[in-house]
Chain A
Amino acid sequence: MIPEIGHFALVLALAVALVQGSVPIIGAARGRTAWMDVARPAALLQLALISIAFLALMWAYVVSDFTVLNVVRNSHTAKPLLYKISGVWGNHEGSMVLWVLILAAFGAAVAVFGGNLPPALRARVLSVQAWIAIGFLAFSLLTSNPFERIFPAPLNGRDLNPLLQDPGLAFHPPMLYAGYVGFSMAFSFAIAALIEGRVDPAWARWVRPWTLVAWCFLTAGITLGSWWAYYELGWGGWWFWDPVENASFMPWLMGTALLHSAIVVEKRDALKAWTILLAILTFSLSLIGTFIVRSGLLTSVHAFATDPERGLFILLLLCLTIGGSLILFAVRAPAVQAGGLFAPVSREGALVLNNLLLVVACGTVFLGTLYPLFLEAATGDKISVGPPFYNKTFVPIMVPLIAVMAVGPFLAWKRADLAGVLSRLKFAFAAAVLAALGAVALEGGPVLAVLAMGLAAWLFVGTLAEWAGRIKLFRAPLGDSLRRARGLPRSAHGMTLAHAGLAIAMAGMTAAASWKVESVQTMQPGDSVELAGYTYRLDRVDQVQGPNYTSDMGQVTISREGRQIAQLTPEKRLYPVQQMPTTEAGIHTTGLADLYVVVGDPDDAGGWTVRIFHEPLVPWIWAGVLLMVLGGIVSLSDRRFRLGAPARRAKAPAGATAARA
């Protein structure tokens, strides 16, 4: 019964979306307020209906209702509750329901918080949002119905892929989807602006915070996935340039560009058509990212089940959404008035450079990801594109980006004095030289890694210097500086945090890529191995029984100069239902490096294959990204964003918004 309610709610949601996608936008064209007002209740109703569908599916998972095919395929009674719940989105059909749920939530957010938007713009935005919902609800209902029944019902399910039974990965898809789908807001606003033929700073003030929300989720989502790959796959790496990883990274790069170009629209009323194009492309890449693997277009280690019929539907949807919006762009964008002029050396100029570099970087990732498809279509040859390609193309683009990133925030709008700014960066330059020399002294090379460490220090100190300059740190009395820091807009603090976070993460990525040491050997219990100054002793390997798996759990003691530092318990698990082994790496972090141990297969003589990695600065990657997300959140708490209106008129609209909400 409950699955049928869910199915029915999903069908009703499609009907509501059809209304929401037509009535308000026609009303906006004809200036009929009553028609436009349909949008808000419709958006809320849609969220309610899709929530019912989602909860119904979750219910089927929690009670292990094996009359539902989707539950049979992805669940098992012995599975812990957390993974019964995360199993809902651990498969194609369920993840689509989560996708439309998040889409509806963002639509409802416009309805609730959009009190101060011009009514016509709000009606159009919600209608466009509904078009997307129509496409994906139809896709879900016609090709990927999660509520399909099976008769006779089997006694137990086939269990969720054991690799996905992990706390990090339980929350990875919701975060990632919130990021992907969050960019639909910028997209809907872009389409609405193209229909209206008008882009103004008020528009940008709306687009920016929503893009930032999406960006924060996407950053966190990608990192969770990367972190999971790091400790769960047991390969000692955290990024593999796999098509699925790239698919999430491309909208991130484009969304980061969008975030920065929207600033120019808001502050200077320039780069309008470009910002609209970025908004369209960011969401387009999110769509391609969601579907590239499901359609069977490319292969990946984490592919969903593919189905050609489904692929055709996806292609149709992509053509309608992306093709349609680009046609609209080609027709309407030339009419969008260009705004304020600026000199090449200016804040605007730096942001344009940022945009160009990010878009080119995104282009190289796109080319690398799809090149195997292009080549196969042209010549029939099958190849795969791996890290060497990206090291040669993507990394060199990042170098100027980071170099300019430290300078940009110092520059004034319209026209800036480069010599004056560079003189304020002398500490950053000194730090860069010191860091590079330090890297040479400690590791000796390679050149690119030394350069990258210097750049990371340049960005870190340059970012802090800009912040210190704003609050006159060390130049004015401390109390004065603190007062200034409090007076500084939150978005300025946010930028400092995010840029400094990237510098830290970059140092981590460089060190991890360049100075990782590994050692693989067969060890008998009692054997010791020395790696990078640490001694690893395999004490024993025990058989352990988990809720739905058995495990060989090693115990490894790490010591340095005779002093015990940590005990790790790396595991090799076997999930009997799917006959699939997984690795659980044992990781001890010192803050400067991760000590990483993986237990492999036993040999006949009672020994075990043990892989040990010394991963320098990997913790900095996670810390840096955390700081970036924190910067985004601090920025979001800026009052200008919360009110969506200039700070001066803060009082009145705030009360009005609250009352209407």
Chain B
Amino acid sequence: MTTGMVIGRRLAYLIPLVVFGILAVYFAWGLNPNRDPRALPSVMIDQPVPEFALPPIEGMEGPGLSAADLRTGEVTLVNFFASWCVPCRLEHRFLIELAMQDKVRLFGINYKNKPEEARDWLAKLGNPYGRIGADTTGRVGIDWGVYGLPETFIIDRDGRIRYRRAGQIDQQTLDETIRPLIRELSQ
């Protein structure tokens, strides 16, 4: 065996170590405390709300919802919901709490829902929304980057999206994220 072969053989035994070293770097990166593997990134953060104008849910009183309604200098919560969405039902009580107790301005976008079912749902569970736009085709949802219901956005006074929650709101998110942020933006 030549010296080169001996060195080559010895180097081969280093391969597992090198592979593990590379892995360890990735692991170290992955442990970054600011990284939440569950968070879904949104390109919409800090962007102005996309232009849209939606009619009200068919057969319901009220004005519908458009982008201009979100630029009136008030902090607003926008919630995408539908009667067919089970987690929406679970988070509904938190929305009612926000609208009734906290007096937060809450607008809804009814996403790909049959009007009669949406009306039934709101009649039964209560309607916390100041305005509701009916996005029957899902077009506005695409512009907002929605890919699953429910999703909730917080819009600041200038009409920019400051926060996005993909998935159901729970007590913890409400207390630890949503309420403090609304308080901060309202000051």
Contacts and interface: CB of A to CB of B under 8 A. Distances in A.
Nearest to B19: A326
B17 A318 contact: no
A308 B32 CA distance: 7
Contacts of B32: 308
B26 A377 contact: yes
A297 B33 CA distance: 10
B41 A311 contact: no
B38 interface: yes
Contact of A329 (B13, B21, B27): B13
Given A297-B37, A311-B31, A370 B26 contact: yes
A373 B13 contact: no
A373 B41 CA distance: 15
A373 B17 contact: no
Given A308-B33, A382-B40, A382-B41, A297 B27 contact: yes
Contact of B16 (A277, A312, A374): A277
B67 interface: no
Nearest to B17: A326
Contacts of A281: 16
Which secondary structure dominates chain A's binding surface? helix
Contacts of B23: 370
A315 interface: yes
A572 to B, nearest CB: 13
Contacts of B24: 315, 318-319, 323
Nearest to A309: B33
Interface in B13-68: 13-14, 16-17, 20-21, 23-24, 26-33, 37-38, 40-41
B17 A296 contact: no
A579 to B, nearest CB: 9
Nearest to B28: A315
Interface string A327-350: 101100110000000000000000
A281 B31 CA distance: 22
Nearest to B33: A308
A219 interface: no
Interface residues of B, number: 23
Contact of A323 (B21, B30, B31, B37): B21
A379 to B, nearest CB: 11
Interface in A144-199: none
Contacts of A273: 13
Interface in B84-125: 86
Interface in A541-593: none
Given A319-B24, A374-B26, A377-B26, A326 B31 contact: no
Contacts of B30: 295, 297-298, 373, 376-377
A339 to B, nearest CB: 16
Contacts of A377: 26, 29-30
A385 B14 CA distance: 30
Contacts of A284: 20
A376 B17 CA distance: 23
Contacts of B86: 601
B10 A299 contact: no
Contacts of B13: 273, 329-330, 333-334
Interface in A61-82: none
A36 B119 CA distance: 79
A330 B14 contact: yes
B16 A326 contact: yes
Q: Taking each of B9, B13, B24, which has the highest tally of chain A beta carbons within 10 Å of its own beta carbon?
A: B13
Contacts of A308: 31-33
A323 B20 contact: yes
B155 to A, nearest CB: 24
Nearest to A380: B41
B31 A299 contact: no
B20 A326 contact: yes
A329 B17 CA distance: 9
Contacts of A299: 37-38
A322 interface: yes
A79 B143 CA distance: 48
A296 B37 contact: yes
A299 B39 CA distance: 10
A373 B24 CA distance: 12
Contacts of A374: 26
B9 to A, nearest CB: 6
B41 A322 contact: no
Contacts of A329: 13, 16-17
B16 A334 contact: no
A374 B41 CA distance: 17
Contacts of A380: 41
Nearest to A277: B16
Q: Taking each of B23, B38, B41, which has the highest tally of chain A beta carbons within 10 Å of its own beta carbon?
A: B23
B31 A296 contact: yes
B33 to A, nearest CB: 4
A327 B17 CA distance: 6
A311 B13 CA distance: 29
Contacts of B16: 277, 280-281, 326, 329-330
Contact of B17 (A311, A312, A330, A382): A330
Contacts of A382: 40-41
Given A322-B20, A329-B17, A374-B26, A298 B37 contact: yes
**Which 9 residue pairs are nearest across A and B when measured between Cβ atoms?**
A308-B33, A326-B17, A311-B31, A297-B30, A299-B37, A330-B14, A330-B13, A326-B16, A377-B29
Given A315-B28, A318-B24, A334-B10, 15 more contacts: A281-B16, A295-B30, A297-B27, A308-B31, A318-B27, A322-B20, A323-B17, A323-B21, A323-B24, A329-B13, A330-B14, A376-B37, A377-B26, A377-B29, A377-B30
26 contacts: A280-B16, A284-B20, A297-B27, A298-B37, A299-B38, A311-B31, A312-B31, A315-B24, A315-B27, A315-B31, A318-B24, A318-B27, A319-B24, A322-B20, A323-B21, A326-B17, A329-B16, A329-B17, A330-B16, A370-B23, A376-B37, A377-B29, A377-B30, A380-B41, A382-B41, A601-B86
Interface of B: 9-10, 13-14, 16-17, 20-21, 23-24, 26-33, 37-38, 40-41, 86
